Structure 1
Amino acid sequence: MKNLFLATLLLININLFAVDKPAITKAPYGEINGQQIYQYTLTNSNGMQVKVINYGATITDILAPGRDNKLGDVVLGFDSLKQYMGRNNALLGAAVGRVANRIAKGKFTLDGKEYLLPSNIHSGPRGFDKQVWAIEEIPGSKEVALKLTYLSKDGENGFPGNLNTIITYTLTNNNELKLSYRATTDKATPVVITNHTYFNLSGTTGKVSNTQLTIIADKYLEADKDVMPSGKLLDVKGTPFDFTRPKEVGKDIAATGNGYDLSYALNNTSGKMALAATAYEPTSGRVLQTYTTEPCLVIYTGNHFNERIIGRNGQHFNKWGALCLETMHFPDSPNQPTFPNVILRPGETFKSETVYKFSVRK
């Protein structure tokens, strides 16, 4: 009887968060200039959850199981819309576009015409992360999804063309979060879209130093002190940037100076889905595998964070307290003719896929 009782308790613990079928719920989250902001919660049949707000197409929470079968929030976030709109929000969980990362000197030339931008990073102060997106719920028995749409009008942040963008966030019963990007335009324009989620697989805001990281890349992009690429690709071998084999993030981080803020040229250049990186947090046992169709992975370790920034549940942030795994095309591609093309033209469709797959190592 004692063994039966213990077995029953174990079964209850394992299935504590399981639900009959995937679900989508919605709750008010605030208001911006008369526009209602909602938080949507995707829940799969295992109880894993992903929460999204229609401000910035932002992923606010990802609750994933650990070795103890308990859910932990594995991304950094805030408690309120006011905080997400505040100056301490460094794009936490947000969609970034229409051109993510750097464009040298905030300008580029396309078809003989020069375009000036308000900033050299992340498309300026009114990028995708500051917009209110329309959301459509997509229910299902094996997965649930949210379809987010936004029209970036011709001239917005200095870019040409009306760009129709669709981002779909899908949570599967295999504990996969799929990010699908689609865009069309009526004028030629550069397009580089990514998501800026800050992962901490321990479920805390502590340093990610003991997280073991593997990146499927033999080269990285040479860049200056402002992280602007030179156009050259350098070998990772023999540098602090070598993650071709599992290595703790903290092992060589001091040798980088301020921390990791680096673009890796992934070995996969086929445009088809392939494994880009694996992160393993030994205390919780959580594993995050990143798959993508993109040729570049940007690694960032929250180098600017400090204890004055207060996040979810009153937890303060810490320098090197997160790990961004941003999939995209190379930074400054509009000004680098040797980099893969990022120019989208009328009649074409921009397509990009990324999958974050969560599991547990016992």
Structure 2
Amino acid sequence: MNSFLNTGSTIKFYGYMPDGAIVNSCDLTNKNGMQLKVITFGATITSLKIPLKNGSFIDVVLGFDTLEAYLNSFHLKSAPYFGATVGRYAGRINNSTFSLNGKLIDLNSNNNGHSLHGGNSGFSQKQWKIKNVNEGKNPSITLSYFSPDGEENYPGDLAIDLTYTLSDQNELIIEYVATTLEDTVINLTHHSYFNLDGHNSNIQEQDLSINSNNILETNEHNIPTGQFLNLENNLFDFNQAKKCPQTIDTTFVLNDGDKISASLFNPKNNLGMLVFTNQPAVHIYVGGNCFNTIKGKENADYHHLSGICFETQNFPDAPNHNHFPNAVLRKNEVYQHKTMYKFSKLGKANFKEI
């Protein structure tokens, strides 16, 4: 990694882990001035600044100023996972168990007896290694993590490469590639809370669109029942853009095709974000509350309407539902996940009109 430091890259010291391990940060800037900051703890995006026409910048993701705050946030009564990479399995797995190749797997439980976002210490709390940095046109950083067999009781050694790219079209491109030495399950996602009015604002006047006609039905613990709910005449039908809901924690089944998966639009500054993915679903969550316990960046007080997550992924609890998309990664297979967030000046995106 020292070679990067000697080539003029923007890798800097960020903090020390409790065990003394060094956490670094990396800044990327595209030709338009769009700026991304990533830290090796959790492969976490801490800042994403978008240039506006008046020459100013707006930071559109929630986060903290210090490593200590990120570490402490996982001890809140509801950890926010600001900007983190979530795995080995994003979302909930019912009763923390599933069967694979006829064997029952018992995972660590961390959410009402269920496994959420990888368990007690998922990928969002791991130290990732910087594998490569490319500067200049479409700058990028690749981080890697090796998850050993048995981590959080998941089977199989799993190797992951994660690449963040800032394109010259003001796109944040996230690409995951993973391989395993033994059959396992995998479902990775990115957990930034977006706010196109700035990280210290709220999202209730911003417009949300989702290219979906169905959501997953869930029980009282937000575990999928295996059934689908049609969104016709449903309050969560966002094919036509409307204001962000104040409460949502829902998995939307994305419609087939190469169209936009979802969008967010801020009428105050006409800034829009389009979401594209090769995943079958996007989990939408509004929140960011730090319960007046931890201050956000620039001393911000984050609350229950501070940001909105677009967690592109497979279905939660898919290993327990044969009719859900396959979540098993076989030995000698390659997991590939690509999601893109494109920022531009645009109007509302109504998917029935695209």
- TM-score when scaled to structure 1? 0.88
Matching residue of 1:9: none
Is the 8 Å Cα contact of residues 75 and 203 (structure 1) preserved in structure 2? yes
The verdict on how the C-alpha distance between 1:148 and 1:289 changes in structure 2, with shifts beyond 3 A counting, is same
Which letter does structure 2 place at the counterpart of 1:170?
T
User: Structure 1 residues 150, 204: CA separation in 2 closer, same or farther (over 3 Å shift)?
Assistant: closer
1:121 to 116, 126, 129: 116
1:62 matched to 2:62: no
What whole-Å deviation, never above 9, does each CA across 1:58-99 have from its counterpart, x for those lacking one? 000000123534111100000100011112452110000011
> What stretches of structure 2 of length at least 5 have no aligned partner?
1-7, 110-114, 348-354
Tell me by how many angstroms 1:48 deviates.
Answer: 0.6
Looking at structure 2, the residues matched to 244 and 305 of structure 1 have their Cα atoms a distance apart, in angstroms, of: 31
Quick one: which amino acid aligns to residue 279 of structure 2? E
Counterpart check, 1:301 vs 2:286? yes
**Counterparts in 2 of 1:143-158, with a 5 A limit?**
143-158=138-153
The structural deviation recorded for 1:359 is: 0.9
CA distance in 2, matches of 1:123, 1:204: 26
The total of aligned residue pairs comes to 330
Whether contact under 8 Å (2:226, 2:321) holds in the other structure is yes
Cα distance in 1, alignment partners of residues 344 and 40 from structure 2: 27
Tell whether the 8 Å contact from 1:66 to 1:285 is kept in structure 2 after alignment: no
The letter for the 2-side match of 1:348 is E
Match of 2:250 in 1: 262
Kindly report structure 1 stretches of 4+ aligned residues shifted beyond 6 Å: none
Larger radius of gyration: 1
Letter in 2 for 1:109: S
Partner of 1:5: none
| Paired letter, 2:280 | P
Within-5 A mapping of 1:94-173: 94-119=84-109, 120-173=115-168
Q: Which residue of 2 aligns with 1:83?
A: 69
Identity %: 36
- Give the aligned residue type for 2:255: N
Q: Determine if contact 1:67/1:360 at 8 Å carries over to the other structure.
A: no
The answer for the alignment partner of 2:191 in structure 1 is 196
Question: What is residue 352 of structure 2 aligned with on the other side?
Answer: none
Contact 2:289 2:302 in 1 (8 A): no
What is the CA RMSD across the aligned residues, in angstroms?
A: 1.6
- CA gap 1:358/1:79 in 2 versus in 1, 3 angstroms: same
Alpha-carbon shift at residue 181 of structure 1 (Å): 0.5
* Structure 1 unmatched runs, 5+: 1-22, 254-258
Distance 1:274 1:184, change over 3 A: farther
Please give the secondary structure, in 2, of the residue aligned with 1:297: strand
- On the 8 A contact 1:181/1:351 being kept in 2, the answer is yes
Matches within 5 A, 1:320-331: 320-331=305-316
Q: Work out whether residues 87 and 118 of structure 2, in 8 Å CA contact, stay in contact via their aligned partners in 1.
A: yes
- Give the counterpart letter for 2:324 in structure 1: F
2:38 aligns with one of 52, 56, 59: 52
Does the 8 A contact of 1:30 with 1:81 survive in 2?
yes
| Offset, 1:321 | 1.4
Q: Is contact 1:66–1:360 with CA below 8 Å preserved after alignment? A: no
Q: 2:232, 2:202 → 1: CA distance?
A: 25
Q: One-letter code of the match for 1:34?
A: G
SS in 2 for 1:82: helix
TM-fit CA distance, 1:236:
1.2
Q: Secondary structure in 1 aligned to 2:92?
A: coil
- Compared CA separation, residues 111 and 266, structure 1 to 2 (3 A): same
> Residue 301 of structure 1: SS of its match in structure 2?
strand
Indicate conservation of the 8 Å contact 1:274/1:293, yes or no: no
